[in-house]
Structure 1
Amino acid sequence: MPSVDLNADLGEGFGIWELGDDDAMLEIVTSANIACGFHAGDPVRLATTCRSAAATGVRIGAQVGYHDLSGFGRRYIDVDPEELTADVIYQIGALQALAQAAGSAVGYIKPHGALYNTIVKNRDQARAVAAAVHTVDPGMPVLGLSGSVFFEEARRLGMRTVAEAFADRAYRPDGQLVSRREKGAVLLDPNQIAERVATMVTSGRVTAADGSTIEVEVESVCVHGDSPGAVEIATAVRKRLLADGIELAAFI
């Protein structure tokens, strides 16, 4: 039976501000990309999210990003590579401690937002992030976009890469994501999204924003926890994949 991982970005509230329904999402997904305090999340919330993930048997990943709370990590920062490496190490270490206290562990790393998109092409920052993960744990898998220079740098260090596809984001013809500043970048219809994901998983293809068909490598599917209707979208995706005989299982 074919299998695929279903992941979501969680722990992204801050202080009195709630963002998404983490508890509901943890009943649906197989992996949780938990914020590390730089783009979102506060210590108490992250500790609680780690405990909830451990209780539901969901794998924990550290979602590392730029130091940009006010911009939710969605703004590019021209940070020095050495500083970026230190920032990523710091974030991984923080979430590792919280996950361990919850009786679990950080099993993989996923960059967030602008950092995720930047290291598709920016080799200096890609190398800095890969070096940070390798320094902490050379055996730690990294989740990202297939064909990115980040994957090239990670593989150069002998690290495992896991190709991710996005359920609720539009693709450009070159395989990158349409900017959130553009109309139609975020998809909202649960049934259409579920159909799209099923096609991606079974055929390795997706329709880009211009109507062209592009190839996409899928080992894990992301549903953004902060998207409108995220729980409904994740539920529809899960039901459709299971109905098509596809097992949902974490990649670690």
Structure 2
Amino acid sequence: MEKTILSVNNLNVTFGKKKILKNINLEINKNEITVIIGQSGCGKSTLLKSFNRIVEEEGGKIEGNIMIEGEDFNNIPLQSLRNKIGLVFQNPVVFPFSIEKNLTYALEYHNKYDEETIGKRKIELLKQTKLYDEVKDHLHMFAGKLSGGQKQRLSIARCLSVSPKIILLDEPCSALDVKNTMFIEEMLMELKKEYTIVIVTHNLAQAKRIGDNVIFMDDGKIVEEGRSKEFFECPKENLSKEYIKYMGN
């Protein structure tokens, strides 16, 4: 069975005359958590945004080839591409509606489900993101009143509502406390049974805990890529060793 769901060949991204990503080649495996690490400004978030072409809306130019399940992403209508590859930002974005409408909006707009199916799917999404017990009696509450961790999980639930193949997460736990970070890590470990997950994080301990595969970047390039256990226990490149030593302290 083909394990690769997303492949990137000779990817370069420029903003004006500045090259942000330089000759990126990688493969993302199905039903795994791939963690992208590296110093601030090394191109991690730009790489993430390239996968569903948000980088172009920000003024970037993409050169190279990105394939999802063997299909060139340039040949996929933009809305369909973003349904296949959902992105959740570092700062959770909730719509200015109730908790319930944040979920049902996408279910109604994209999937045209009937009312009974929407009701069932809404509960499934809240349970998948470990929110159900916390909000089941407050579904009509304005979503902006949720805590930061709850907003982040609601953003992930909304991303899942269109049944993506791949979930992209940009520093989802950077502003969260230990409890909410634990919730999200547990949730991601369960979600990878159904979805492919790519996450950017500065937290090496988190990368070790949840990562199946690690991509280490520096200055817009991939320095090293490999299985998480091997990368952290026996990195091949000196730059990788220095980064692990520095960030691990």
TM-score over 0.5 for the alignment?
A: no
Q: Which has the higher contact order (CA 8 A, sep 6+)?
A: 2
TM normalised by structure 2 equals: 0.35
Of structures 1 and 2, the larger Rg is shown by: 2
Q: Relative to total residues, which structure has the larger strand share, 1 or 2?
A: 2
Provide TM-score, normalisation by structure 1: 0.35
